[in-house]
Amino acid sequence: MKNIFCLSLCVHFVSAAFPQSSIDPTTDLAVSPIKNSSAVIQGNRIRKELIYSYTFSDDKITDSVEWGSVEYDSLGNIVRTVEFANFPNLTMTKTYYYQRPHRLVRMLEDHEYPEPHTYITEYAYDSAGNQILSFCHTIDMSFFDVNRRVFDTNNQLLASYRKKQEDSFHLEVKYYYSENAELFKEENYNATGKLNSTTLYTIDSAAHKKTIFYDNLKGDQPERREVIIFDSHDRCITDSTWNRYTNSLSDLRKNIQQQKLIVEPGAAVYTYNPNGTLFQWVSFFRNKQEKITRHYYFTK
């Protein structure tokens, strides 16, 4: 019989994705905002992870649903993820293939809605191991999307270029680093070369804190500030966000538009098992607890 464990609160790490020398495509998991590291998974000989979401009413758990699953190989690499939706036909499955111990070379993304279809993403690397190309396409090539990344001699990611279908490559994201090789700014561009948004990072090593400010220059989305707190082992323990925007209110009697500033706070609190695996994360919106998501692990 397989062993299963879901231990009470304690410790492990996976931070929000801050691009440094390369990008790990398995970091952005739909089933969870953060993932367990391959070292923790391998060290605990975990082969499968189930993720359940629990909803609340009057501070009591009223319902639970299996949100997704993650499967691993013996090296701790993710080999398969399944994201479950409210309806079975919306299930999405991703399968990952590796050439070297931790080098992802291919991913299959299977969808069941509105009809079965598959996206294939292939990855290429330079001699230093940086991921320089990702090529996403359908089997019949009716759709394709290419992302090309440029690195400097210090293996820092400088820019990302994108090409869809018959379009030409265009600059999508530009990265800026401090003298300490820490990412402090991103610029995001649209296909016409116009700057859409900027993201600023501030790192306070002494306080184990990263602050992120998102400024959407198009004006159709709110400004957003995010503060991520890590423990002394560099493990993400809280992720707080504030969405700030202005809402227009019509006063027909005075024939004027009134502007009302709205700030929406949100947060996620992460706790870990003694063996280093993620135990649960609790999400809050407008200072009210929304749900708990718990992770359950299986070994051979």
Higher pLDDT among residues 219 and 235, named by residue: 235
Predicted structure pTM score: 0.79
Q: Look at residue 251 in the predicted model and tell me its pLDDT.
A: 47
Q: Look at residue 14 in the predicted model and tell me its pLDDT.
A: 33
Scan for tokens 């993201």, then name that residue.
199
The Cα 273–Cα 294 span in angstroms is 11
The Cα 148–Cα 175 span in angstroms is 14
For 91-135, write each residue's pLDDT tens digit.
Answer: 889 999 999 888 999 999 998 877 788 999 999 999 999 999 999
CA 286 to chain CA centroid, Å, is: 22
What residue ranges do the domains of the chain occupy?
Answer: 3-299
For 149-200, write each residue's pLDDT tens digit.
Answer: 999 999 999 999 999 887 889 999 999 999 888 899 999 999 889 999 999 9
DSSP characters over 23-69: --TTSS-TT-SS---HHHHHHTTEEEEEEEEEEEETTEEEEEEEEEE
Second-level CATH architecture of 3-299: Beta Barrel (2.40)
Q: Are 50 and 69 in contact (CB under 8 A)?
A: yes
Q: Calculate what percentage of the chain has a pLDDT beyond 90.
A: 39
The Cα 259–Cα 249 span in angstroms is 6
Alpha-carbon distance values, 134 to 25, 131, 149, 270, 282 (Å):
10, 8, 9, 31, 33
Mean pLDDT on 208-213: 88
For 250-286, write each residue's pLDDT tens digit.
Answer: 444 455 455 555 667 888 899 999 999 999 988 887 7
